[in-house]
Amino acid sequence: MGRLDGKVAIITGAARGQGEAEARLFASEGAKVVLGDVLDEAGEQAAASIGENARYVHLDVSREADWAAAVEVAAGMGPLAALVNNAAIIRPAAIEETSLNDYMEVINVNQVGTFLGMKAVLEPMKTAGGGSIVNISSIDGLQSKNGLISYSASKFAIRGMTKTAAIEWGRFDIRVNSIHPGGVNTLMGNPTNDPQAEKEPYVYQAIPRIGAPVEIAYAALFLASDEASYITGAELSVDGGWRAGPITPGLPGTDHVVGYGYNPG
Ligand SMILES: NC(=O)c1ccc[n+]([C@@H]2O[C@H](COP(=O)([O-])OP(=O)(O)OC[C@H]3O[C@@H](n4cnc5c(N)ncnc54)[C@H](O)[C@@H]3O)[C@@H](O)[C@H]2O)c1
């Protein structure tokens, strides 16, 4: 028995990274998966390597017409039970160096894409008798950083939109939750694939390393499954403890951060 037996799921941004890991994991748990992305070659390859229960569709999440086509493909595979709004882009830049076009590019993919995705699956999920929408936000949707004006705006928005949809659609048995990953070892989280970047930035984090894509995928799997049947409007941090707060050298309780010792005197 798989944890997603009999369910059809659409996963956006599934040609690589976390989306691909989610598609692979969902299929291994019995789901039929529609992988959507704008990277057609990589997306086709990912779907082919997953097998007969996976289909790739060209889905630019910022285009309403693409969503209609993706939902159509999903309908041909069975009742739509899950959507993971995972696709996103990031364009780090100081505020004064961010043009309106740059800003809107990020908002259109991350925020508008999530809005269009939720809208597109409403009717099919109602027809299916319910469903689960998992919106991938970020720790930058809980707290921000310099250089992330557009990305952080979009990720805070996803967090809020998740709660609106959860409140509106609970009556249809459609659950809507957000996941807030910390650093994850993908092209977005570690663009130069640098082994140093897998540890150094995380030295003050409870689990002092970057996350693996599958560690986010397992959280999405849980929220998509019936095991989460009473969970909606929730924020699930998958961040190695970043949200709990940083390790503070100089106070007791940890000895693995080299800095200065605790000296109450
Ligand atoms: N990697 C991290 O450190 C990190 C941290 C927090 C949150 N996240 C979030 O996790 C999610 C997955 O990111 P990732 O780390 O796998 O990044 P990634 O860049 O490896 O993958 C993103 C995928 O989205 C696709 N995409 C981009 N624009 C698209 C569009 N318009 N339509 C459809 N697909 C599009 C890309 O082609 C790519 O396949 C994103 O929502 C990201 O914001 C990532």
| Residues 178-237 pLDDT 10s | 999 999 999 999 999 999 999 999 999 999 999 999 999 999 999 999 999 999 999 999
CA 248 to ligand 1 center in whole angstroms: 31
| 19, amino acid identity | G
Element (H, E) at 119: helix 113-128
Burial class (CB in 10 A: 0-12, 13-18, 19+), 245: exposed
Question: Ligand 1 within 6 A of 85 CB?
Answer: no
Across residues 138-153, what is the average pLDDT?
98
Please tell me the residue having the least CA distance from ligand 1 atom 31. Answer: 60
Question: pLDDT, tens digit, for every residue of 112-136?
Answer: 999 999 999 999 999 999 999 999 9
Closest CA to 19 of 134, 161, 169, 171: 134
Q: Whose CA is nearest to atom 20 of ligand 1?
A: 17
The model's pLDDT over 45-94, given as tens digits with 9 standing for 90+, comes to 999 999 999 999 999 999 999 999 999 999 999 999 999 999 999 999 99
Flag whether pLDDT at 259 surpasses 70. no
Burial tier of 30 (Cβ tally within 10 Å: 0-12, 13-18, 19+): middle
Instruction: Provide the pLDDT for residue 8.
Output: 98
- Report the atom number in ligand 1 closest to the C-alpha of 210: 3
Q: Which domains does the chain possess?
A: 8-244 (3.40.50.720)
Q: Which atom of ligand 1 is nearest to the CA of 66?
A: 32
Cα(186) to ligand 1 centroid in Å equals 9
Query: Is any atom of ligand 1 closer than 6 Å to the C-beta of 43?
Result: no
Helix (H), strand (E) at residue 37: strand 32-37
Q: How far apart are CA 58 and CA 38, in angstroms?
A: 6
Give the per-residue pLDDT at 131: 98
Pocket lining: 13 vs ligand 1, CB cutoff 6 Å: yes
The pLDDT tens digits of the residues spanning 155-166 come to: 999 999 999 999
The answer to whether the CB of 121 is under 6 A from ligand 1 is no
3-state SS class at 34: strand
- Where do we find the tokens 């989280």? 189
Ligand 1 pocket check: which of 45, 154, 186, 235 to mutate, most ligand atoms within 8 Å of Cβ?
186
Ligand 1 atom nearest to CA at 42: 39
How many Cβ atoms are within 10 Å of 228's Cβ, its own excluded? 18
